Amino acid sequence: MTTLPYPRSMGRLLTMLSEAACGLAEDYLRPYEISLAQWVVLSALWRRDGLSVSELSEYSGKKTAALSRLLDRLEDKELVRRAAVEDDKRSVKIHLTEKGQGLSHLADMYKHVNGVLLADLSETEQEQLFPMLERMLDSVEGKSKKR
């Protein structure tokens, strides 16, 4: 059949780019046997250990429900452990294990992805691109039902 063409959709373009970027990240992480979702959590802890689940949620943009299970996996892999909080027994703080700390060199993974994504754009273009996308994001989040 003739290939069905797509309409010019910014949403589609963004989704394809995001999927491509995530794919690059997953490829990079595969040898270390951690998923991108797990990396996001670890990357917060590498920068500040002992965050609570709520704080991780705020940082990562993931719901605590999603984190709860992600943290189960990370505990299974012995990369993090949950610790009780004295002052507030509802709260749980997450700490890196030595094994988890040992992967901290992966914190720079996003730079590799950045490099590939931006390889074909000039400095000038990059200077234009970031602010435009940031503005788009601000404008959309202003309208979203989520805040």
Instruction: Tell me the C-alpha distance between 69 and 15, whole Å.
Output: 25
Kindly write out the interface string for residues 118-137 of this chain, putting x where it contacts a second copy by CB under 8 A and - elsewhere.
xxxx---x--xxx-xxxxxx
Sign of torsion over alpha carbons 138, 142, 146, 147? positive
Q: Which does 33 bind (CB under 5 to 8 A by kind): DNA, a second copy, none?
A: none
Minimum gap (Å) between residue 79 Cβ and DNA:
12
Minimum gap (Å) between residue 131 Cβ and a second copy:
10
Instruction: Tell me the C-alpha distance between 84 and 94, whole Å.
Output: 9
As given in the structure block, the two tokens for residue 94 are: 């997450």
- Does 55 participate in binding a second copy (rule CB under 8 A)? yes
Residue labelled with tokens 């892999």: 77
Minimum gap (Å) between residue 77 Cβ and a second copy:
23
- Does 16 participate in binding a second copy (rule CB under 8 A)? yes
